Structure 1
Amino acid sequence: MDSLLKHMVDMTGHRDHTMLDISVISAVQELAGAAQTRVLALTRLRGQVFVRARAVISAGGPARMEEHSDSAAPGEPLECYPALAACIAGHQASADTVCDDGRHMLWLPIWIGDKADTCLEITNPTPYSGATIQIVGGIVSVYRNFQNLLDYSERDSLTGLLNRKTFDDQLAKVLQSGGDYEAATPPGERERRQPPQTEKQWLAVVDVDHFKLVNDKFGHLYGDEVLILIANLMQSSFRAQDRIFRFGGEEFVVLLRSSTLADAHKIIDRFRINVETHDFPQVGRITVSVGFVSLNAAEAPVIILGRADQALYYAKSHGRNLACHYDELVETGQLHAVASNDTAEFF
């Protein structure tokens, strides 16, 4: 009982979705004695649902955010998990199956209203008793309720992405921690998993090209649908450990964790191409422009945002549908910084 209460306090003490994911799988892993527990993200893209692991913990190991070899892939189709697909289709509370190797898998979708964007997956060599399932169900209920509260305060009501206030808070935390975006990693493991020196944290500003024309020609309802579909494309294009925000209007911001410049270019450009090739109902083709910059903990947020905005402005003024890196523009002489101070940068 003391262990259960400790985990409940830990789960409800966070104001961050990543830490909440880490807390819930840590609680389930200990209290259920599972071989492995994962948080799965359920993403909808072009009418199809994809499954991608967001956080994982295995017996004897620490909880961590899941890494993916193909960071731009949306994940596996839900059809690859027949029992889970039937559970989602039937709006059921749980589903279980026995794998070919004899392992028992239990899925617990996190229903918020009639929609489930998250699911817990618990793997164990033997089936669970009714008492254990009851304990896990209680943990899932607390997780769902607290996730709902966080969503209400942290997310944009139209797109479901994190909102501007949450971005301000999280950018400040990243900079205060010296640019370490692995805040969800337990302290002992965090030191062991320091990223290579070539890896950095990145901030990208995304703007929908000619969005005013969409609203003027098709109306605000179709404009809102474009924003929702772009938000869906962002969630399926970027990695589970990256953070995506609606900054305001047709502008979005992404915080990319631990990537080289080449990887950042690849991830951002794949998202841009995903938008370019997507067929938006009634509207047709839409493109986005992106400006991005590496995070430097010694600089003020307004300086970092200003540089990303300048790279974005360059992309929009040079044909749009481009992804431009601030430092590359400066190094090649295409963008010139005249002066800077703690509050603004002039060009």
Structure 2
Amino acid sequence: MEALLKHMVDITRQRDHSLLDSSVVSALHELVGAEQVRVHELFRFRDETFIRPRVWIRDGKVATAEDNAAGENSGEPVSKLPVLVECIRERAASAVEVDAAGRHTLWLPVWLNDKVNTCLQVTASGPFPGETLHMIEGILSVYRNFQNILDYSERDSLTGLLNRKTFDEKFSRMLSSAQPESPQDQPERRHSPNGQIGHWLAVVDIDHFKRVNDQFGHLYGDEVLILVANLLRSSFRAQDRVFRFGGEEFVVLLRATCLDDARKIFERFRRNVEQHVFPQVGRVTVSVGFASISNESPVVILGHADQALYYAKATGRNRVCFYDELVQRGELRSEVSNDTVEFF
């Protein structure tokens, strides 16, 4: 009972989705004695639902997709998990799957606003006793309530993406994980080989979105925003972060990859949007401007990505532009007036 109370206190004090996931995984692993506990996210891509792990237990410790940037996981179709599919279809609270070795896996969909975006997976060496299932149900109820509270405060109500209010905290966390550099090293880093690992910030804008609203109405405009948000989820990794900044503008924080791969990832997303058939509207494109994340201020880094985006939109739209390359080619010129402001 004391251990249960300790974990419940830990779960209910969290004010961050990642920390909340970590707390519930830790609680279930210790209290249930499970071999494996995972929190998965579910998302839609091209009319199919995919699943990928968000937080899990590794070597007895909690690991997250955000903290393990090297472990890219684009997810797998949920159709490969028929027990979970049937559980969701029947709107059941849980389902048990037994493998050939006798291991029991408990699937626990988390229903919020009549949707399942999160699912818990608990695997044990044998059957789950009745009182253990009762305890798991209680923990799940608390977890679901706090998910709902955090979603209300952290997520955009239309697209389900993180909102602008949460950007500063997530960006600060990424900055703290970036390799510190001295100011005199920055020019060298900007001209560094494309294979050097770094973090990147991109600003995404839907091309001619006002025309969509004017021609088809705001209802279809909202549907375009939702579908673009789904394409953003499927095009980036679990450890990356995607935000809706308002209107038709989105921001992506891309973690731990080299410049060539970052460009390929942003281009892949651009193509995914270009090739997607939007109901009634037809073809929609996006422009992307991105910049490297350094020890400069967040305002400056966001400004760099914005400038690259404006250049992309001014030179034809439906393209990806990298700030540093534009400056090197003389397409953009920056004049630093002080430590926090740049004029272009």
Task: Provide the residue aligned with 1:30 in structure 2.
Answer: 30
Residue 215 of structure 2 is aligned with which of 195, 214, 217? 217
In structure 2, the residue corresponding to 1:171 is in which secondary structure? helix
Distance 1:264 1:7 in 2: 39
Matched, 1:334 2:335: no
CA contact (8 A) 2:291 2:305 kept: yes
Task: Provide the residue aligned with 1:15 in structure 2.
Answer: 15
Distance 2:101 2:343 in 1: 62
Give 1:170 deviation, angstroms.
Answer: 2.4
Give 1:339 deviation, angstroms.
Answer: 2.4
Task: Provide the residue aligned with 2:251 in structure 1.
Answer: 253
Task: Provide the residue aligned with 2:112 in structure 1.
Answer: 112
- In structure 2, the CA distance between the partners of 1:70 and 1:45, relative to structure 1 (3 Å rule), is farther
Distance 1:88 1:145 in 2: 19
Task: Provide the residue aligned with 1:193 in structure 2.
Answer: none
Give 1:168 deviation, angstroms.
Answer: 2.6
In structure 2, the residue corresponding to 1:309 is in which secondary structure? helix
Query: What are the Cα deviations for residues 39-62 of structure 1, in whole angstroms up to 9, with x where unaligned?
Result: 11111223221111111114x431
Distance 1:162 1:47 in 2: 22
CA contact (8 A) 1:290 1:322 kept: yes
Listed as ranges, the matches of 1:138-149 within 5 Å are 138-149=138-149
Report the residue type matching 1:209 in the other structure: D
Q: Any runs of at least 4 consecutive aligned residues in structure 1 with deviations exceeding 4 A, and if so which? A: 67-72
Task: Provide the residue aligned with 1:41 in structure 2.
Answer: 41
Matched, 1:51 2:48: no
Distance 1:72 1:4 in 2: 32
Moved more, 98-107 or 275-284: 98-107
Given the two structures, how large is their TM-score scaled by the length of structure 1? 0.89
- In structure 2, the CA distance between the partners of 1:31 and 1:72, relative to structure 1 (3 Å rule), is closer
Task: Provide the residue aligned with 2:224 in structure 1.
Answer: 226
Report the residue type matching 1:330 in the other structure: V
Give 1:331 deviation, angstroms.
Answer: 2.3
Query: What are the Cα deviations for residues 124-168 of structure 1, in whole angstroms up to 9, with x where unaligned?
Result: 111111111111111111111001000001111111111111113
Report the residue type matching 2:268 in the other structure: R
Distance 2:76 2:151 in 1: 25
Give 1:281 deviation, angstroms.
Answer: 0.2
Report the residue type matching 2:60 in the other structure: G
Residue 269 of structure 2 is aligned with which of 268, 271, 289? 271
Give 1:178 deviation, angstroms.
Answer: 5.3
CA contact (8 A) 2:69 2:256 kept: no
Task: Provide the residue aligned with 1:183 in structure 2.
Answer: none
- In structure 2, the CA distance between the partners of 1:287 and 1:70, relative to structure 1 (3 Å rule), is farther
Report the residue type matching 2:200 in the other structure: W
Task: Provide the residue aligned with 1:304 in structure 2.
Answer: 301
Report the residue type matching 2:105 in the other structure: M
Distance 1:290 1:315 in 2: 7
CA contact (8 A) 2:308 2:322 kept: yes
Give 1:217 deviation, angstroms.
Answer: 0.8
Listed as ranges, the matches of 1:202-213 within 5 Å are 202-213=200-211
Report the residue type matching 1:63 in the other structure: V
Give 1:69 deviation, angstroms.
Answer: 8.1
CA contact (8 A) 1:71 1:237 kept: no
CA contact (8 A) 1:71 1:238 kept: no
Query: What are the Cα deviations for residues 172-194 of structure 1, in whole angstroms up to 9, with x where unaligned?
Result: 3443x2537xxxxxxxxxxxxxx
Task: Provide the residue aligned with 2:61 in structure 1.
Answer: 62
In structure 2, the residue corresponding to 1:63 is in which secondary structure? strand
Task: Provide the residue aligned with 1:133 in structure 2.
Answer: 133
Task: Provide the residue aligned with 1:97 in structure 2.
Answer: 97
Matched, 1:161 2:158: no
CA contact (8 A) 2:70 2:256 kept: no
Report the residue type matching 1:334 in the other structure: E
Distance 1:331 1:114 in 2: 50
Task: Provide the residue aligned with 1:188 in structure 2.
Answer: none
Equivalenced residue count is 327
Distance 2:267 2:337 in 1: 29
Task: Provide the residue aligned with 1:179 in structure 2.
Answer: 178
Report the residue type matching 2:178 in the other structure: G
CA contact (8 A) 1:72 1:237 kept: no
Query: What are the Cα deviations for residues 91-131 of structure 1, in whole angstroms up to 9, with x where unaligned?
Result: 00001111123221110000113211100011111111111
Identity %: 61
Given the two structures, how large is their TM-score scaled by the length of structure 2? 0.90
Distance 2:248 2:113 in 1: 27
Distance 1:269 1:61 in 2: 38
Distance 1:275 1:324 in 2: 16
In structure 1, the residue corresponding to 2:255 is in which secondary structure? strand
- RMSD of aligned alpha carbons: 1.9
In structure 2, the residue corresponding to 1:108 is in which secondary structure? strand
Residue 241 of structure 1 is aligned with which of 239, 242, 248? 239
